[in-house]
Amino acid sequence: MSAATRLRWVFALLMSLQMSLLMTGWVTWVNLGFGPQFLTRWLHAFVLAWPAACVIVLLTAPSVQRFSQRLLARLTPVMAQELRA
């Protein structure tokens, strides 16, 4: 496995882990509050969300990165002009 492929997998695993933990925690709290079932429900939501999030990151990260690069390439000259004015 190449270094670039390893980096892509590690990034996908870590990004999806972080986002799944935070988002499932937030949504569980919004829906249930910090009641007696909070941790059980949060864990259940996380176990379902993390694999899906990882696959989504693996599939979409390259295109999102390319889009971000194109967007910044277009905005950078405009922002540079605004800073000079």
* Helix (H) / strand (E) containing 51: helix 38-84
Q: What is the structure's pLDDT at 80? A: 62
pTM of this prediction exceeds 0.85: no
Dihedral of the alpha carbons of 46, 49, 54, 59, in degrees to the nearest 10: -170
Q: Give the domain ranges of the chain.
A: 3-84
Q: What is the structure's pLDDT at 83? A: 58
pLDDT digits (tens, 9 = 90+) for 29-67: 999 999 999 999 999 999 999 999 999 999 998 899 889
